[in-house]
Amino acid sequence: MSAESFESDGGGYGPEPPRPTGLLDVLSVAAVVVDADGRIVFWTPQAEDLFGYTSEEALGTYAARLFIHPEHLPAVAKLFAEVLKTGRSWAGAFPVRHKDGSTVLTEFRNMRLLDDLGDVYALGIAADHSLLQRVETDLALCERLINQSPIGIALLDPDLHYLLVNPALERIDATPAEDHVGRRLRETLPLPDIDTIESALRQVLTTGTPLLDQYHVGRPPADPDHEHAWSLSFYRLDDSSGRVLGAAISFVDVTERHRAAAEADRARRRLALVADASTRVGTTLEVERTARELADIAAPELADVVAVDVLDSALACRRMRKPDNGPELFRALALKAAYPSVALRAADPPGDLAAYDGDRLVTLCVHTARPVLVRHVGEHDLRRIARDDEATSLLARAGVHSYLAVPLIAHGEVLGALDLKRTRNPVPFDQDDVVLAGELASRAAVAIDNARWFQSVRNTALTLQRSLLPDHPPHHTGLELASRYQPAQATSEVGGDWYDVIPLTDDKTALVVGDVMGNGIDAAATMGRLRTATCAYADLDLDPGAVLQHLDKITCDLEHYIVTCLYAVYDPRTKQCQIANAGHMPPALARPGRAPELLELPTGAPLGVGGIPFEATTVDLDPGDLLVLYTDGLVETRLHPIDERLNVLLGFLDEPHRPLEETCDLLLYGLRHPDDHDDVALLVARVL
């Protein structure tokens, strides 16, 4: 048998084209065939590279003489004979002699061959032992790198089917390696953004450009109750010829880093929320507005549904009784949802008064003065949150799954509760939320406390002031009268403005408008003293200047008070009006057929300055004439010059025949703003 007998004829298809470099080429595996006599009959180029002999030198030569050391000949002969006799293959490392005299440790695989004539041959497959060891080591390292890596690794074919996964990835998606092979990525790892991942893989397969450190968050099958984060890297796998084999994905678990970053971001947002609350909550002295500001801050940053409820006893500034386990009356002040929710229908509308039994969680919160946290709300909890069965059903429909109530405490007194619910936000409330809600509630409670006491004092002063003013101007001979008193906005203290109509002898009438400079109960009380004194001096039938002179002396005895006052006396017999002014706004006069005007009067000093006489001016009036007396709150603003505002006032008096009540309303609505910080007294008289 010749060497040519072992050469491939290509199966009749001609010579094969050169193959790309593969593992056999890397190993330079040599093939040698010897006949039963031990002569070499087949010698490959790789054998020439391995042993140094050319095919011309090797063919026909006894293999043992060519590269076997003499001391190894007996052992080699024995192995050779056993292979030919038994047909069992032999494998192992054996030292052989190189043509240059050196010894090459060679890895052999020997086996018996039979040709079509029944002749026996031995085939030896040989490779450099050291090179083979390096390759085996490299393969083992690659295998260990994949299998022992804490990083999840997946190899995919070009159609994104699994070819191989390592144990780390098995642990991530809780699927054995053998169950991955042939399946798609989305079948074992249902991440929310799996479409994005597959799109990125196709891009990598197309371009060959890796995509590194792609951040993805999800709940893996191995741990569905917790959110995990991974850094994914995608790269293409090509063989040595550039043919695309598929793609690889590495999964680096960065959950701890993700949680730390999320916690840091959460802390920043909490700090920003507290800072925001310091500027947005308590901007006024209105209880309801402060509650709304608190609700606006808490939703949606802290909760999906927010309610602020204050104990009715606290709102009324009544003495707080010692808490028992009984029901409580709550006044709903604010309600806010981050988005439309049926949970709003389960809450008490702002302004409503509702009784909650002692077993309700909001009642427990105010009784114990401690937060009430229900991380995971069950059906029993819903019944203790809602006021009745209908509200319980609505909260269940809304998907309320976590609840937190925090007491509103100011100066040791429980005022009410901040009620928080989560529906759409899947994360339950935790202790950090309790701390944050407590901080917000504490700030708001102080503002609510200040506002409720201010409102209480203001209401007391307003009640006092209204009690000192006449309900309706009495009917007086020769005059038609109308009046108004309008306090300042709810967040401003009551002032000392007043008006009065005093009957005098001989059918005369005194018209008085005054303003005590100051606010609160003291100003209202001072106004009451001056009004009483004015009535007393009016009964003496003194002229207007003398009345103001006496009032000036009284005011001088009142420390820190300055008062402006306009005192007029109308005599229906003479149709004349005597007017004296103590630093007050000039009265307006509107005559039919003539333009309204401000009366030019000597403007005396305010009451309380002392030592300055007051001069009375006489004004002739005709039937239909309109005299308007008012305090500065009607015309003074911070934005407009006083002359401009007085002209506006005169513009509203262009129809003297308008009904007096309508005239009063027109002046107030036309000149006043709901947010004005001063009160107004207005007195309008028409000559009959």
| Chain segment 660-682, per-residue pLDDT in tens | 999 999 999 989 876 667 789 99
What average pLDDT does the chain have?
86
Confidence of residue 435 (pLDDT cuts 50, 70, 90): very high
Is 225 strand, coil or helix? Answer: coil
Is 258 strand, coil or helix? Answer: helix
pTM above 0.85, yes or no: no
Confidence of residue 469 (pLDDT cuts 50, 70, 90): low
Q: Could you give the count of Cα atoms lying within 13 Å of 687 in the half-sphere of its Cβ?
A: 23
- Average pLDDT in the 70-89 region? 88
The letter for the amino acid at 209 is: T
295/116 Cα distance (integer angstroms): 96
Q: Is residue 16 over pLDDT 50? A: no
The kind and range of the H/E element at 665 are helix 660-671
Please measure the distance between the N-terminal and C-terminal CA atoms of the chain and give it in whole angstroms: 151
CA angle 295, 298, 299 (to 5 degrees): 85
Q: Do 168 and 152 form a contact (C-beta atoms < 8 A)?
A: yes
DSSP string for 511-525: EEEEEESS-HHHHHH
- Give the pLDDT confidence score for residue 337 in this predicted structure: 93
- Average pLDDT in the 451-472 region? 65
Tell me, rounded to whole angstroms, the distance of Cα 130 from its chain centroid.
64
- Average pLDDT in the 266-278 region? 82
Q: Is residue 327 over pLDDT 80? A: yes
Dig out the tokens for 668 from the structure.
Answer: 């107030």
Phi, psi of 199 (to 5 degrees): -65, -40
- The more confidently predicted of residues 365 and 25 is 365
Q: 131-140 pLDDT, tens per residue?
A: 877 877 777 7
Q: Is residue 150 over pLDDT 50? A: yes
- Give the pLDDT confidence score for residue 2 in this predicted structure: 44
Q: Is residue 292 over pLDDT 80? A: yes
- Give the pLDDT confidence score for residue 452 in this predicted structure: 84
- Give the pLDDT confidence score for residue 139 in this predicted structure: 72
Going along the chain from its start, the domains and CATH numbers come out as 3-135 (3.30.450.20), 149-253 (3.30.450.20), 267-453 (3.30.450.40), 469-687 (3.60.40.10)
Q: 503-542 pLDDT, tens per residue?
A: 999 899 999 999 988 776 777 778 888 888 898 889 888 9
Is 127 strand, coil or helix? Answer: strand
- Give the pLDDT confidence score for residue 76 in this predicted structure: 87
Q: Do 492 and 518 form a contact (C-beta atoms < 8 A)?
A: no
280/274 Cα distance (integer angstroms): 10
- Give the pLDDT confidence score for residue 138 in this predicted structure: 72
Question: Which of 208, 199, 198 lies closest to 236, judged by CA?
Answer: 208
SS3 readout for 322-340 = CCCCCCEEEEEEEEEECCC
- Give the pLDDT confidence score for residue 229 in this predicted structure: 86
Looking at 59-127, list the stretches that DSSP marks H as alpha helix, in order from N- to C-terminal side: 63-67, 73-86
- Give the pLDDT confidence score for residue 464 in this predicted structure: 58
- Give the pLDDT confidence score for residue 607 in this predicted structure: 92
DSSP 302: T
Count CB-CB contacts under 10 A for residue 447.
Answer: 24
Q: Do 455 and 490 form a contact (C-beta atoms < 8 A)?
A: yes
Strands 479-486 and 680-687: antiparallel
DSSP string for 134-154: HHHHHHHHHHHHHHS-SSEEE
Looking at 176-324, list the stretches that DSSP marks H as alpha helix, in order from N- to C-terminal side: 177-180, 185-188, 194-207, 255-280, 287-298, 312-315
Dig out the tokens for 573 from the structure.
Answer: 């017999």
- Give the pLDDT confidence score for residue 520 in this predicted structure: 66
To which residue do tokens 């916690």 refer? 263
To which residue do tokens 């009375």 refer? 616
Cα dihedral 35, 40, 43, 48, rounded to 10, equals 150
641/608 Cα distance (integer angstroms): 27
Q: 200-223 pLDDT, tens per residue?
A: 999 999 999 999 988 888 887 778
- Average pLDDT in the 77-81 region? 88
- Average pLDDT in the 330-345 region? 92
- Give the pLDDT confidence score for residue 672 in this predicted structure: 85
Confidence of residue 466 (pLDDT cuts 50, 70, 90): low
Dig out the tokens for 532 from the structure.
Answer: 């009483």
- Average pLDDT in the 544-561 region? 86
